[in-house]
């Protein structure tokens, strides 16, 4: 990989190796090989690169400075998700481990809630088949389709009201490190910055949490802890900071939410909320 630069790289940069799955957090990246080896690189101030980080150089002033070298995370892994500054990783037999930031309890009940780095993987109780991570909150789906959420709930992303914050507007609601069961049976889940998309087996898509840019696909653009369905049927979905993508069974791609930099691909920079809360088909290339 090329040396760290203060400028972006508009050209393609080849990352050595062959990989089966990728995940990106805030200023750090993860890559999983087909054989279950996990590599991480980039920002490490919260320990998000895990315990496999190489020793720091003698003259390096900051032991958690960004690392452009691929760092092997010990163990065998089947799936990985990146939050803003934390990582969720599943083993082949469904055990879940988390590491990195734990400001809001996003690492689960077995780690202290604090601002210290947590590079060592922390076990999260239960067995799971898919994980997703947003800013300071985590999601995990069991083989039976039960969905659990924990961590930050400032915007209702854990599907429970953030009453203490809404009542006072003075303090955040308490961290919720214990996984909370979200009612329903789910096929897959995705996390945006502070909202959740969850797909059922029949193709119905549900959303809850933050809604500042209409990412819940409903009007008005108020946050909601109540899961509610979006119109249409879908086979796959993806969530970013404050915008969404969903693929219909006919191969049509839909996008909605934040569009300040044209991320909806519809030729405008108009976000879709309030008067147009529903998914809008993007232009076909």
φ, ψ (nearest 5 deg) of residue 168 = -110, -30
- Biggest CA–CA distance in the chain, Å, is 58
Share the mean pLDDT of the chain: 86
Q: What pLDDT sits at residue 168?
A: 46
**pLDDT tens digits, one per residue of 160-196:** 987 544 444 445 667 899 999 999 999 999 999 999 9
Over residues 203-221, the pLDDT tens digits come to 999 999 999 888 998 877 7
Q: What confidence score (pLDDT) does residue 7 get?
A: 56
* % of the chain residues with pLDDT over 70: 82
Strand partners, 22: 31
Q: Look-up: residue for tokens 């879709």?
A: 272
pLDDT at 279 over 60: no
Cβ-proximal residues to 168 (8 Å cutoff; 6+ apart), any chain: none
CATH code reported for the domain at 16-186? 2.130.10.30
Return the pLDDT at 57: 44
Count the neighbouring beta carbons within 10 Å of the beta carbon of residue 4.
Answer: 10
Q: Where are the domains of the chain?
A: 16-186, 187-285
For residue range 43-69, list pLDDT tens digits in order: 999 999 999 775 444 334 455 556 678
d(CA 29, CA 70): 9
Task: Look at the pTM and tell me if it is higher than 0.75.
Answer: yes
């Amino acid at each position: 990989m090329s040396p760290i630069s203060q400028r972006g790289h508009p050209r393609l940069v080849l990352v050595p190796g062959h990989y089966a799955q990728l995940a990106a957090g805030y200023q750090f990246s993860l890559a999983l090989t087909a054989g279950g080896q996990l590599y991480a690189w980039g920002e490490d101030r919260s320990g998000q690169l895990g315990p496999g980080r190489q020793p720091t150089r003698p003259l390096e002033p900051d032991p958690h400075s960004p690392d452009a070298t691929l760092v092997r995370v010990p163990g065998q892994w089947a799936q990985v998700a990146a939050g803003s500054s934390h990582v969720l990783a599943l083993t082949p037999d469904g055990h879940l481990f988390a590491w990195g930031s734990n400001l809001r309890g996003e690492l689960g009940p077995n780690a202290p809630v604090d601002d210290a780095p947590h590079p060592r993987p922390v076990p999260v109780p239960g067995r799971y088949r898919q994980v997703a991570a947003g800013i300071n909150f985590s999601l995990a789906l069991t083989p039976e389709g039960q969905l659990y959420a924990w961590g930050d709930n400032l915007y209702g992303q854990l599907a429970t009201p953030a009453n203490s914050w809404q009542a006072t507007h003075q303090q955040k609601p308490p961290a919720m490190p214990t996984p909370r069961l979200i009612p329903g049976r789910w096929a897959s889940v995705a996390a945006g910055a502070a909202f959740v998309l969850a797909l059922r087996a029949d193709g119905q898509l549900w959303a809850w949490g933050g809604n500042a840019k209409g990412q819940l696909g409903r009007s008005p653009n108020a946050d909601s802890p109540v899961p509610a369905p979006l119109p249409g049927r879908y086979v796959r979905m993806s969530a970013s900071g404050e915008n969404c993508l969903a693929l219909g069974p006919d191969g049509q791609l839909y996008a909605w939410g934040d569009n300040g930099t044209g991320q909806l691909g519809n030729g405008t920079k108009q976000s879709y909320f309030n008067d147009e809360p529903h998914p809008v088909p993007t232009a076909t290339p």
